[in-house]
Amino acid sequence: MVRLRVVTTDDWPMWRDARLAALADAPHAFKSRLADWHRGGEERWRARLAMPDAYHVVALLAGRPVGMAGGMPGGGDGRPPELRSVWVSPEARGHGVGGRLIAAVETWALRTGATALRLAVIPGNAPAIALYERHGFAATQEPGDPPADGVTRELVMVKALRRS
């Protein structure tokens, strides 16, 4: 059974293991590269988890990380909070783990008072785009950042959040 765990700076080894597994499994899905995260050690991992007002959650199966997601606060320019770093391991895919991770970040965003949640996805990542669409995200006309290829731009998607 998969359970979700909100992680703190003390959980940096768990976040590190999930993040490195994600970058190794799906390098095409992230702007960061595996090699980028092998530098910096514990201090860098703790700093990632210590970002003010951020939210990080890991999906665990038998105590091992099999998924992850993060929520980053919105910008001072009125942008909504952002869903980031979503990944589910191959062994856990197809069991609703991605949806549970997204729902956890949505709940966090609602607690912060947000009325929308934003994300950026690498164009061509059809499985991720389909997951986000199934969970109510829609593409916007907003130009995303350029990924590593420097040619395309990320697809920006937004979901309106409603209190239940």
Q: Where are the domains of the chain?
A: 2-160
Which helix (H) or strand (E) segment is 56 a member of? strand 55-61
CATH class of 2-160: alpha beta
Residues of the chain with pLDDT under 50: none
Per-residue confidence (pLDDT) for residue 33, from 0 to 100: 63
- Taking only the tens place, the pLDDT of each residue in 34-72 is 566 666 678 888 998 999 999 999 999 999 999 999 999
Amino acid letter, residue 124: G
Per-residue confidence (pLDDT) for residue 48, from 0 to 100: 87
Please choose, from the candidates 3, 127, 8, the residue with its C-alpha nearest in 3D space to the C-alpha of residue 65.
Answer: 3
- H helix and E strand count, the chain: 4, 7
Per-residue confidence (pLDDT) for residue 123, from 0 to 100: 86
Per-residue confidence (pLDDT) for residue 89, from 0 to 100: 95
Beta bridge partners of 157: 119, 139
